[in-house]
Amino acid sequence: MTEDSNAQTYSVSDLAFALKRTIEDAYGFVRLRGELSKVTFHGNGHVYLDLKDERASISGVIWKGSVRGLGVRPQTGLEVIVTGKVTTYPGRSQYQITIETMEPAGIGALLAQLERLKAKLAAEGLFEAARKRALPTLPAVIGVITSPTGAVIRDILHRIAARWPCRVVVWPVVVQGDQAAAQVRAAVEGFGALPADGPIPRPDLIIVARGGGSVEDLWPFNDEALARAVAASPIPIVSAVGHETDTTLIDFVSDRRAPTPTAAAEIVTPVFADLAATLADYERRMIQAGARMVDLGTARLAAAAGRLPRLQDLLAIATQRLDLASGRLGAALTANVAAHRQDLTAKSASLRPRLLTGSIEVKARTLDALAGRLPTLARRALDQASDRLTNLEKLRLSLNPDGPLSRGFARVEDAGGHLVRSAGALHNQDAVKLIFHDGDRAAVIDGAAPPPSPPRKVPSQNRAPGAEQGSLF
């Protein structure tokens, strides 16, 4: 027996969990810098990844509750600084870091991540000029997404009020920090979801505005989800984030980029005074053009009138014919009246009262004869109608399918309620319903169908003439 035989014997689990406690006690909080690789977003919300440098690599996990609070979205190749605690996973005998916070490792890492994201969205066509929409010329409602406090919103409201009196709807958001990207995205989607006739007016265009700042301050406007929401907005969007030299991701996907928030207010609004002056100039030019047209028409009318003949020359022949006709009109009217009087006298001589009274008496006798025969004709028609009604009622009773049931017959229906007309239509174990005159009963067919009977042969000598033709019914 050697000296090592006196050493304590551990089980595998005891040793694994002892190492786990030792590592967690020694490295309960660490801060690491490295490059992300093998980033995997699990369906349950957790993120698994590797953190590496030139000589080593360590596995990492970000639980679902910590993912939402990260300062940057984990991506392969991104250099980050993370904090957390080192622990072990006994099931695989490996150690890993449970990450609680993550931030980019310097400005260079942020810009590199931004360039990769720009290349990805550009490849999808979100930066194409063909996607850009024209801004409305005379907007009635302008939506502004920005912080409700500060100089930005005051500058925008002052500039719009000075240039174009319209309604401005402000959607207040934070424009810096972890919650900025989510709030701005919710505002863009919220404006787009407003109904056209709702209590809150739907904007004709949207301004997303923020003052200048560092790259870290403006980083929320480089969020991928926000960029996609701006690209998908049904309302045209003007990006006015930072100063003229500042560039964010939403500048590329918006319909128009403004160098400053004040410039955005100038881009989206016309100058009311300029429009009024232009309108007045159009009105003046229209009046002058109308006056010139009237003068020209007057001159043309005067020139045409000088070439027309005189009125009395045009009416001379017609006037003469009228005078001649009016001179003969009196005698013609007198002759016409005399001719009609003579014709009336000739026709009135042949009129006698007897011609009218004789015709009336004949028609009166005919009417009396018809009146005497009317009751007999009406009674005969009524009797004929009654006989037809009685025959129809007998026919209805004879065709009633429930009539034979009172005489001991039963009707068979299948499971679908259809009438069964032959035994061959049913099979073994088919469900049927037997209908009697006082109710119905369910039944199941038991036994196979009988063999079909051979067709009955009719002797040729007993066939009626024309039987080979078949019945028309």
Closest CA to 59 of 101, 87, 100, 25: 87
Q: Is the pLDDT of residue 143 over 90?
A: yes
Distance (Å, whole) CA 130 – CA 272: 30
Distance (Å, whole) CA 148 – CA 245: 24
Q: Ramachandran region of residue 12, left (φ > 0), alpha (ψ -120 to 50) or beta?
A: alpha
> Sheet harboring 431-436: ordered strands across?
411-414, 431-436, 439-444
Strand partners, 256: 238
**pLDDT score at 464:** 46
Strand partners, 238: 207, 256
Stretch 445-462: mean pLDDT: 60
**pLDDT score at 172:** 95
Q: Which of residues 87 and 208 earns the better pLDDT score?
A: 208
Confidence band, pLDDT 50/70/90 cuts, at residue 456: low
Q: Is the pLDDT of residue 313 over 60?
A: yes
Report helix, strand or coil for 257.
Answer: strand
Q: Is the pLDDT of residue 356 over 70?
A: no
Stretch 130-134: mean pLDDT: 92
**pLDDT score at 282:** 93
Q: What digits encode the pLDDT tens for the residues 255-305?
A: 999 999 999 999 999 988 888 888 989 999 999 999 999 999 999 998 888
Bridge pairing between strands 141-146 and 167-172: parallel
Distance (Å, whole) CA 32 – CA 15: 27
> Is residue 97 a contact partner of residue 86, using CB atoms and an 8 Å limit?
yes
Q: Which of 20-29, 342-351, 425-434 has the highest mean pLDDT?
A: 425-434
**pLDDT score at 178:** 77
For residues 21-32, b (16+ Cβ closer than 10 Å) or e, as one string? eeeeeeeeeeeb
Intra-chain end-to-end CA distance of the chain, in Å: 115
Q: Which of residues 185 and 14 earns the better pLDDT score?
A: 185
**pLDDT score at 263:** 92
**pLDDT score at 428:** 86
**Please, what is the Cα angle at 422 between 417 and 424, to 5 degrees?**
105
Stretch 141-149: mean pLDDT: 94
Q: Is the pLDDT of residue 467 over 80?
A: no
Sole residue written with tokens 């005051």 = 154
> How does the average pLDDT of the chain come out, rounded?
84
Q: Is the pLDDT of residue 473 over 80?
A: no
Confidence band, pLDDT 50/70/90 cuts, at residue 465: very low
Cα–Cα distance list, 36 to 32, 58, 72, 80, 430 (Å): 11, 10, 12, 7, 70
Closest CA to 194 of 165, 171, 175: 171
> Is residue 191 a contact partner of residue 202, using CB atoms and an 8 Å limit?
yes
Q: Is the pLDDT of residue 239 over 80?
A: yes
Cα–Cα distance list, 394 to 380, 390, 400, 473 (Å): 22, 6, 10, 21
Is the domain spanning 137-270 CATH 3.40.50.261? The answer is: yes
CB atoms within 10 A of CB 46: 15
Confidence band, pLDDT 50/70/90 cuts, at residue 227: very high
Q: What digits encode the pLDDT tens for the residues 84-107?
A: 998 888 777 788 899 999 887 766
Q: Is the pTM of this model over 0.85?
A: no
Q: Is the pLDDT of residue 437 over 90?
A: no
> Is residue 39 a contact partner of residue 49, using CB atoms and an 8 Å limit?
yes
Confidence band, pLDDT 50/70/90 cuts, at residue 398: confident
Length of the chain: 473
Q: Which of 23-27, 216-220, 279-283 has the highest mean pLDDT?
A: 279-283
For residues 236-257, b (16+ Cβ closer than 10 Å) or e, as one string? bbbbbbbeeebbbbbbbbbbbb
Q: Is the pLDDT of residue 237 over 90?
A: yes
What the block records as the tokens of 358 is 């004789």
> Is residue 415 a contact partner of residue 426, using CB atoms and an 8 Å limit?
no
> Is residue 52 a contact partner of residue 39, using CB atoms and an 8 Å limit?
no
Residue type, 272: F
Rg over CA atoms, the chain: 53
Q: Which of residues 459 and 50 earns the better pLDDT score?
A: 50
Distance (Å, whole) CA 470 – CA 473: 9
**pLDDT score at 355:** 66
Distance (Å, whole) CA 350 – CA 296: 77
Q: Is the pLDDT of residue 27 over 90?
A: no
**pLDDT score at 5:** 60
E strand or H helix at 182, and its extent? helix 180-193
Distance (Å, whole) CA 180 – CA 211: 14
Q: What digits encode the pLDDT tens for the residues 361-389?
A: 788 888 877 777 777 778 888 888 888 98
CATH class of 12-106: mainly beta
> Is residue 217 a contact partner of residue 181, using CB atoms and an 8 Å limit?
no
**pLDDT score at 171:** 95
Q: In sequence order, which ranges of 307-432 are alpha helices (DSSP H)?
A: 311-348, 353-399
